[in-house]
Structure 1
Amino acid sequence: MTTYEQVLAKLPAEIVVLDQDIIGGYTTDFRKKYTGKSPALLRPRSTEEVAEIVKLCNEHSVALVPVGGNTGYCGGTTPDDSDEQLLISLQRMKKIREVDGDNLSITVDAGCILSEIHDAAAQEKLMFPLSLGSQQSCQIGGNISTNAGGVSAIRYGITRDLVLGLEAVLPDGQILSNLSPLRKDNRGYALHQLLIGAEGSLGIVTAASLRLFLPASSRVSAFLAINDISDLIPLLAKAQQYTGEAITSFEYISNTSLELLLAKKPELRRPIAEPAKHFVLIEAATSSPILPLDQAIEAFFEDGMSEEMIVDGAIASSEQQRLDFWNLREHIPEGEVLNGGSVKHDVSVRTSDTARFIELGTALVDRFGRGARLSIYGHVGDGNVHFNVLAPAGVNASMFLEEISTEVSPRIYDLVAKMDGSFSAEYGLGQDKLSLDQTYGDPIKRNLMRKFKNVLDPREIMNPGKVVSSRNVMSDEKEVQCL
């Protein structure tokens, strides 16, 4: 009997799935870049069952790969091809444990779908602001494990800013219960923050206490064509000044990104007839019933037009028109897929450097990209740019993009590094970006991460090969000493 079979034999049959047709839905990542194998999918029903699974895997040195909605871009939930790593999904753990309206908090199981948390908050006339294109399928445990960003970070922050406390099963099977939804708690290390963004490499998040907010009583959305990329950050500042910092989203979309999408999905409508190279989707919201937000946005719009920063624009006159604006933004990645796919660069720079990075990065691709097309979009308010390179029309995409990844991508990442930015803004590291971390990451930080991993998970059972490479600590200690 193999070691993983010994683990499976000790678990309740009701939580073990051996059907490879079901398991196959988790062994290839969302981008179909990585494919592995697994003999079983475990679907526990409680934190105690998760703890029992982890304890058994630790005792038998069996690797465990946590899977959520499988919407990640870095292969962080894909097993290797050994056919010995077990998958664990918390999809059956979907309880809303508590909503404390007066405390503006909600406590949920990690298997809850993000949109289900939105609905639970709305029933109490409150709001959970994390918003993603995959919110109908991604799980909050996955959002926490990857420190998801979303389109409202400019106002509410990213996932890390929205988590008050966590419950998690550690690699030895112990349950860390830190679910108290306190705003202030200085009892030593904030251990729950160590698990956020760890992608299941230090333990499995089983529940979370999250911050809630008052819902918007007024919301205004506008789709703007802007005159020059250099106007991007001044326009954001102007919008915040006019609205009293009520801006929740400020999304940049290049004209190429829009054209790629509309060429393949003609049923989607262009919001503005006026041609432009750059567009911004802006949204402002307030819970105050007395702040005239629509007047503030109209004044901002008129001011931007008078200064020739805004070429044209449309302010949503209905909820449907607002949804149409966002539908365009959320389908931009699909437009890339329909045009042969892209080499993705999920990067971040200082907000003040966003426009300059786009200009310099575009110049690099124009010079070295051999006619490549660029799809650029992102979250201007937090400096996160999705700088994606596509093959020219009519060119074999797979061969061309492979060459781009070796010839052009390093130049883009070099530019990001020179601007003191990050090669991974919101997608995490997974297995896809480990080599980038070796090149551009901080060796001292990497060494510390490896030490944490070795202390908490000495048998390397928790999502091995993700976030932290399997090299021993000493090799990086020598690397650090040589710097």
Structure 2
Amino acid sequence: MDHSSLLEDLRNIVGAAHVLTEGDLSAYTRDWRKRAEGTALAVVRPADTEQVAAVVRACSKHGASIVPQGGNTGLAVGAVPDTSGSQVVLSLRRMDKVRALDPANLTITVEAGCILQNLQETAEAAGFLFPLSLAAEGSCTIGGNLGTNAGGTQVVRYGNARELCLGIEVVTAQGEIWNGLTGLRKDNTGYDLRDLFIGSEGTLGVITAATMKLYPLPAARLTAWAAVPSMQAAVDLLGLAHKHLGAGLTGFEVMNQFSLSLVDKHLPQLRVPFWRDYPWCVLVENSDHESEEHARTQFEGLLEAALEAGCVSDAIVAESLAQASTLWHIRESIPMAQAEEGLNIKQDISVPISRIPAFVAETDAALTREIPGVRLVDFGHLGDGNLHYNVQTPEGGDAREFLLKYEDRINALVFDSVAKHEGSISAEHGIGSLKVDKLPSYKSAVALDMMRAIKTALDPQGIMNPGRVLSTQV
């Protein structure tokens, strides 16, 4: 590959100022968790879809592989270059416009580089709700959210990013533009190409824009924090919440005692409720389209039934939006508290909700038995069966030495337990490069063959984010 000729072509397409080859490029080449850092031939920052298409055509001509990147907040090392120095990072951050908002159709069309929080605020200013919500919403982008099929805290009601998307615009691996930005909710005209690209982590093409669903703003949104005696009690409370709140149940998060102890230790100003006295706490959100009075009546009915059933030991209902925000901030601060505590192993698994208590009990016991000093940070989106079953290195020990010695064993124990309970080793973070070598052990050979056939058909040169999702080795 003639690097100088490719760089010249790229500068002619997007302008020399937007082809970065020198200086500190770590914001583009190092992943958010600092697990990996690569070296890019160049970071290219196109301004529009036509420039993206021209960049892809240039890379295809020169045989250069492309790493599409949004906010670079991913947790599976799927959006940074390798160490070869030959890959082009295609940053979509300049493409951040809101193209259209259609109130009657309840849709908003945005470019891939649009920050999630900006989309939320634009929708709210127009009187609507865009419900995708996650800790990185101040820096993650819609393109990245769709590329990984992000989940977040309101999946229990609204679904993952895939369920919130009606149409996408894509630049193919050949540099052609597919305009699939339909706002239709019904379209039976062949294969669902939209869903093929969503969740593909940039391995099939580049998502450049999307048409997303909007919802009416709720009249009231209430949050409750409840202490529960066990994971089974949390699952029982979830069942009662579905019964009492119906479609108003928009969030249901679970947090173990150790995860909350880390928040209390590193962010004591947040004043975590109940954590010292109970093994688990649950955060429940009720969005009501009638009134705050109606929402509180529903919540009171739920908590009375839960206390009577013995699945709640104590509870508080936020008295203001500020208090509710603080409760959610506690939950969202667990990853930050983990980082302050030191190195850790992050898991993003899903298990059928009915089997989560058995999964947690068995996996906790296996890890505690086999891994000296292990500390378990167990929290996540119980409402949709997605747990962040994380492992903190032992207190006071050499964390890097521990990881070198035990990380593979920990992953094997957790993933084997997930498989036993008919779950998935990735719920919302994607496969990236971190789990690409693990996937063949937990995905059927038939499924992997079909995935490889799709990859080969859409990206015959293999230039789109190679080595992510699917191993380059068959």
What is the number of residues matched between the two proteins?
472
1:273, distance to aligned residue in structure 2 (A): 6.8
Question: Structure 1: which amino acid aligns with 2:15?
Answer: A
1:9, distance to aligned residue in structure 2 (A): 5.0
Return the match for 1:105 from 89, 107, 110. Answer: 107
Q: Which residues of 2 match residues 166-185 of structure 1 at below 5 A?
A: 166-185=168-187
2:45 matched residue in structure 1: 43
Distance in 1 separating the partners of 2:468 and 2:198: 14
Q: Does 1:337 align with 2:339?
A: yes
Return the match for 1:247 from 221, 246, 249. Answer: 249
Give deviations 1:261-288, integer Å, cap 9, x for gaps: 2112222212237610000011010223
1:415, distance to aligned residue in structure 2 (A): 0.8
2:439 matched residue in structure 1: 437
Return the match for 1:362 from 339, 359, 364. Answer: 364
1:480 matched residue in structure 2: none
**Which secondary structure does the structure 1 equivalent of 2:389 belong to?**
strand
Give deviations 1:350-374, integer Å, cap 9, x for gaps: 1211222111111112211212110
1:239, distance to aligned residue in structure 2 (A): 1.2
1:11, distance to aligned residue in structure 2 (A): 2.4
TM-score under structure 2 normalisation?
0.96
Return the match for 2:391 from 376, 389, 392. Answer: 389
Question: Structure 2: which amino acid aligns with 1:417?
Answer: A
Q: Which residues of 2 match residues 53-202 of structure 1 at below 5 A?
A: 53-202=55-204
Give deviations 1:151-185, integer Å, cap 9, x for gaps: 00000000110110000000001101110110000
Contact kept? 2:28, 2:80, Cα under 8 Å: yes
Question: Structure 2: which amino acid aligns with 1:74?
Answer: A
Distance in 1 separating the partners of 2:275 and 2:98: 45
2:410 matched residue in structure 1: 408
1:6, distance to aligned residue in structure 2 (A): 4.8
Contact kept? 1:346, 1:387, Cα under 8 Å: yes
Contact kept? 1:62, 1:86, Cα under 8 Å: yes
1:221 matched residue in structure 2: 223
Contact kept? 1:200, 1:462, Cα under 8 Å: yes
**Which secondary structure does the structure 2 equivalent of 1:407 belong to?**
helix
Distance in 2 separating the partners of 1:420 and 1:166: 32
Distance in 2 separating the partners of 1:404 and 1:329: 28
1:469, distance to aligned residue in structure 2 (A): 1.4
**Which secondary structure does the structure 1 equivalent of 2:190 belong to?**
coil
Runs of 4+, deviation exceeding 6 Å = none
Question: Structure 2: which amino acid aligns with 1:187?
Answer: T
Q: Which residues of 2 match residues 319-330 of structure 1 at below 5 A?
A: 319-330=321-332
Distance in 1 separating the partners of 2:287 and 2:380: 20
Distance in 1 separating the partners of 2:67 and 2:22: 16
Distance in 2 separating the partners of 1:214 and 1:52: 39
Contact kept? 1:251, 1:380, Cα under 8 Å: yes
Q: Structure 2: any 5+ residue segments left out of the alignment?
A: none
1:301 matched residue in structure 2: 303
1:317, distance to aligned residue in structure 2 (A): 0.4
Give deviations 1:297-343, integer Å, cap 9, x for gaps: 11211221222211111110011110110111001011111111211
Question: Structure 2: which amino acid aligns with 1:277?
Answer: P
Contact kept? 2:348, 2:429, Cα under 8 Å: yes
TM-score under structure 1 normalisation?
0.95
1:200, distance to aligned residue in structure 2 (A): 0.6
Of 337-346 and 417-426, deviating more is 337-346
Q: Structure 1: any 5+ residue segments left out of the alignment?
A: 476-483
Distance in 2 separating the partners of 1:251 and 1:207: 31
1:7, distance to aligned residue in structure 2 (A): 3.4
1:253, distance to aligned residue in structure 2 (A): 0.3
1:5, distance to aligned residue in structure 2 (A): 2.9
Of 32-41 and 300-309, deviating more is 300-309
1:272 matched residue in structure 2: 274
Distance in 2 separating the partners of 1:128 and 1:8: 36
1:66, distance to aligned residue in structure 2 (A): 0.9
Of 22-31 and 192-201, deviating more is 22-31
Distance in 2 separating the partners of 1:107 and 1:252: 33
Distance in 1 separating the partners of 2:11 and 2:325: 50
Question: Structure 1: which amino acid aligns with 2:244?
Answer: Y
Identity of aligned residues (%): 38
Return the match for 1:208 from 196, 207, 210. Answer: 210
Give deviations 1:404-450, integer Å, cap 9, x for gaps: 31223211111111111101111101111011102212221111111
| Cα distance change on mapping 1:12 and 1:162 into 2, 3 Å | closer
1:479 matched residue in structure 2: none
Distance in 1 separating the partners of 2:9 and 2:450: 31
Distance in 2 separating the partners of 1:403 and 1:361: 19
**Which secondary structure does the structure 1 equivalent of 2:263 belong to?**
helix
Root mean square deviation of aligned Cα: 1.5
Contact kept? 1:95, 1:108, Cα under 8 Å: yes
Contact kept? 1:23, 1:40, Cα under 8 Å: no
Question: Structure 2: which amino acid aligns with 1:70?
Answer: N
Distance in 1 separating the partners of 2:467 and 2:56: 17
1:291, distance to aligned residue in structure 2 (A): 7.2
Contact kept? 1:165, 1:179, Cα under 8 Å: yes
1:56, distance to aligned residue in structure 2 (A): 1.1
